[in-house]
Structure formats: C-alpha cells, structure tokens
Amino acid sequence: MADNTKENIPAVPDMKLELVPVPVSDVDRAKAFYVEKAGFTLEVDTRPNDTMRVVQLTPPGSACSIVFGTGMGDISAMQPGSVKGLHLVVADIREAREALVKRGLEVGEV
C-alpha cells in the first residue's frame, strides 16, 4: 500500500492503470495501425451485439492496454484525436524508432 498518510488522511491502496480509452474515427483502420505498424497485441475484438464493438490492444511489454470501438457510450462519443500525451516508454529509443520505421511507420528523428 502506498504511504500517502498526512495526519488523519488514510493511505490509498496501490492502483494499477490497466485500460485507456482512445477515440478513433475508423475502428478497422485504427486496429490495423496499432497491430501492423505499432506492433501492439490484439487482446479482444468482439461484437456483443449489432451496435457494439470492443477492440483492446496492448503495447509489447505493457500491463496497460488501450480500448476503442463502437456503441460504447461516452467512450465512443469522444472526439478522435482528443487524447493527447500518451507516453510509450522504451529502453532504447533508437532501437524502437528503427523497428517502427521498418514496420512502415513515419517516425520523427531522435
């Protein structure tokens, strides 16, 4: 448990961030990008009913996934491109950049 105590404020138990919604305009195109170009692992692609689709993908080595789809209420209503500042942490930025470029991804210089 994290030690967040100050006087009479109780400590907050450890928490794990496991799922981040990412709004997209085209589910199939986004899925192809994350799997084929960025190398994410497809965890879930399900259609529980005619209006809902849930796609969950995980970056290599991460315990946290992203999710997007259709018919998911407020998550589906988010504007594509509205999530800013997601950070993917790597041990070797040059190696990671080279791998992404080889997969056909446009990546800026390091």
Residue 14 one-letter amino acid: D
- pLDDT tens, per residue, the chain with 110 residues: 555 556 788 888 888 999 999 999 999 999 999 999 999 999 999 999 999 999 999 999 999 999 999 999 998 889 988 988 888 899 999 999 999 999 999 989 98
What is the pLDDT, as a whole number, of residue 3?
A: 57
Return d(Cα 44, Cα 14) in angstroms, integer.
26
Domain ranges of the chain: 19-76+87-102
Q: Where are the alpha helices (DSSP H) in the chain?
A: 27-32, 74-77, 93-102
Task: Enter the pTM of the model.
Answer: 0.81
What is the pLDDT, as a whole number, of residue 98?
A: 94
How does DSSP assign 49-73, residue by residue? Answer: SSS-EEEEEE-TT-S-EEEEEES-T
Rg, C-alpha atoms of the chain: 17
What is the pLDDT, as a whole number, of residue 2?
A: 58
What is the pLDDT, as a whole number, of residue 11?
A: 87
CATH superfamily of 19-76+87-102: 2,3-Dihydroxybiphenyl 1,2-Dioxygenase, domain 1 (3.10.180.10)
